[in-house]
Amino acid sequence: MNHRRNFLRAGAALLTAATVSKAAQGAVPEAPMQDKPDTMPPLAPPETGNGGPPYNPVVTLNGWTLPWRMNNGWKEFHLVAEPVRRQLAPGMTARLWGYNGQSPGPTLECVEGDKVRIFVTNKLPEHTTVHWHGLLLPCGMDGVGGLTQPQIPVGKTFVYEFEMKKSGMFMYHPHADEMVQMAMGMHGFIVVHPKNPALHRVDRDFVFIINAFDIEPGAATPRVNTMLDFNLWCWNSRVFPAISPLVVRKGDRVRIRFGNLTMTNHPIHMHGYDFAVTLTDGGWVPKTAQWPEVSIDVGVGQMRAFEFVADEPGDWAIHCHKSHHTMNAMGHKVPTMIGVDHRGVAEKIIKLIPDYMVMGDKGMADMGEMEMPLPDNTLPMMTGTGPFGALEMGGMFSVVKVREGIARNDYKDPGWFKHPPGSVAREWTGEAPVAQSASASAPAASELQVRKPVRHAH
């Protein structure tokens, strides 16, 4: 965490704990800024009581929660819409539009019943608005430019006031020059916690926005007119290998929430577990209606959350199941060369173009390991290295790291999973498997490590 953030957090805590002075009451609150693309630790609600009711905070993947101040019973936030620079992964920084220094904007966390006042300052080069996707509010607070309010002109600050009527998850984004402003990265997550913190309680609660950009390799500004052919598939404006791992303590009940603000659907698949779909942007799914999945498709403009008990340690992949969405910037016009023997031709070409490479005749796996010459400011199509070699991934891919014995509030990357001896797929050599040769007699049930199905109901 950087110093500015520490300072702001301390500042926010002071503001929420103290009464806002008469003079400050009429002033727009400070707008905290974030200059790092890292996952910030959960912003714990103040325990003093006058900072608002208590709740269990969420963790925003490669993001942060916006501090607020209490002012005469109103929870006040300040969003600044502005051009930002966002590192999508080391080696590539994009020129985007976002809020308070980053794209996506900070997560807004509230509690059911909170009266919120959200100041929005427009530092973009054009007008904007903010629409509060899914929230139940007075029509004039809905943020549709031209329909429910005048556009927020450049340089002006507007204020939105409403009550958080129900708990759940929601999003915010512009409803002004929407195609351009969404393509430039303007999104954010809203979490409204239940009034009773024991309700829907989990130990770890992760949130992210699914977004996508079309940025020509070597460029930094997204093409804003692209309809479908995006080349950077992101979670919170971040791509593999730079999406933070989801660090989980063994035995924790875990919730993962995501909202889709791209132009296509994303089947989000998690390995190693089955899970229950417990929440959409429409509300909590009643227990009797929750259904089991191992992949959950999230349509355009929709949100989904699932829950599971982390009973099996390991490094479990979590990714979009569209295989083109686990790739980074790539040319889709590359011809398929599988089975084509072009060695003779290549020798001739190399005489003319010394850097020419023969690629793709056995598949494209070489590309995961090859150090390809790339223009500045782009990312390899397939990349990342794990404990067993090249991962050959990109885009919407991360790892749920379930570990024994980590602290309750610890989200630090614990490194790679240490597999128990004999539990990793291996080359068959004709020898008896390690697990069986260890015991001459039939192994006890405990040694077989049979996993019982987990019931998802609380």
Give kind and range of the element (H or E) at residue 350: helix 343-352
User: For Cu ion, which is the closer residue by CB, 117 or 319?
Assistant: 319
> Contact between 131 and Cu ion (CB under 5 A)?
no
Q: 193, 325, 401, 403: which one contacts Cu ion (CB under 5 A)? A: 325
Nearest to 330 by CA among 412, 395, 426, 408: 395
Q: What is the CA radius of gyration of the chain?
A: 24
User: For Cu ion, which is the closer residue by CB, 202 or 320?
Assistant: 320
Fill in the per-residue mask, 247 to 276: x = in contact with Cu ion (CB under 5 A), - = not in contact.
Answer: -------------------x----------
> Contact between 319 and Cu ion (CB under 5 A)?
no
For residues 377 and 287, the answer to whether their CB atoms sit within 8 Å is: no
Q: How far is the CB of 264 from Cu ion (least distance, A)?
A: 7
User: For Cu ion, which is the closer residue by CB, 71 or 260?
Assistant: 260
Give the Cα separation of 230 and 234 in Å (integer): 10
- Furthest C-alpha separation in the chain: 82
Q: How far is the CB of 261 from Cu ion (least distance, A)?
A: 12
CB hemisphere CA count around 4 (13 angstroms): 7
User: For Cu ion, which is the closer residue by CB, 66 or 396?
Assistant: 396
Give the Cα separation of 399 and 244 in Å (integer): 8
> Contact between 204 and Cu ion (CB under 5 A)?
no
Q: 130, 246, 320, 330: which one contacts Cu ion (CB under 5 A)? A: 320
Q: 322, 358, 366, 390: which one contacts Cu ion (CB under 5 A)? A: 322
User: For Cu ion, which is the closer residue by CB, 191 or 320?
Assistant: 320
Tokens of 115: 């009266």
Tokens of 206: 């992760």
The full DSSP string for 68-92 is -EEETTEEEEEEEEEEEEEEEETTE
Give the Cα separation of 68 and 116 in Å (integer): 10
Q: How far is the CB of 382 from Cu ion (least distance, A)?
A: 16
Stretch in the footprint of Cu ion (CB under 5 A) among 321-329, 347-355, 373-381, 443-451: 321-329
Stretch in the footprint of Cu ion (CB under 5 A) among 292-300, 315-323, 340-348, 405-413: 315-323
For residues 261 and 208, the answer to whether their CB atoms sit within 8 Å is: no
Residues lying near Cu ion in the complex (CB under 5 A) are found at: 266, 320, 322, 325
